[in-house]
Amino acid sequence: MAGLLGAMTMAILAPILVYIIPPPAKGQKKGPQTVRLTKPLTEIGPDEAVQFSAPDGVAFLMADGGGDNAPGDLAFGGYVVKHGESAPTVYAINCPHLGCSYGFDAPNKKFACPCHGSQFRLDGSVLQGPATAPLAHLSWKETEDPSVITVDGLTLGQGA
């Protein structure tokens, strides 16, 4: 009886789980993705941000998140930020409110989302809502070339 009940449960849950936890699309591969910056890391000044985009066929994986962003969600761009004298930080370009791409307001040294008016400090914290969660980070590493970084991401296959 227990075996029959278990089999019935799996027959019902298996199709539902495919939609909740979809398998990776054919051809997708996780790993570090190479990104060329428009300004070398060594030249990024205090309170400055440099935007970058994902190469064709690549998405970045968010390391953390809140609001509309979650760890493992995809981003197609980001910012390398040097807040004061601290080491650079890399943020996903997705606003945590509803996922719009935000921009860098260089004169005011803050990030601003054009969709609903959220604003963020250079440390990623919320300056003004409606967003309630900070900016999501991307996991990254420096390379020998200060104009190149690697960001954890996903090579998108044909099924993506």
Dist CA 89 CA 69 (whole Å): 17
Average pLDDT of every residue of the chain: 85
Report the relative pairing of strands 103-105 and 148-155 from DSSP bridges: unpaired
Each residue's pLDDT tens digit, 29-38: 888 999 999 9
The structure's pTM equals 0.78
CA distances from 150 to 1, 60, 61, 105 (A): 54, 10, 12, 25
Query: Does residue 44 register a pLDDT over 60?
Result: yes
Residue 159: what pLDDT? 46
Residue 143 φ then ψ, to 5°? -120, 180
Q: For residue 137, what are its two tokens?
A: 């980070």
> Considering the chain, what percentage of its residues have pLDDT values greater than 90?
59
Each residue's pLDDT tens digit, 67-122: 888 999 999 999 999 887 888 999 999 999 888 899 999 999 999 999 888 999 99
Nearest C-alpha neighbor of 73 from the set 93, 55, 56? 93
Give the list of residues 6+ apart from residue 50 with CB closer than 8 angstroms, or none: 37, 38, 39, 44, 79, 80, 81
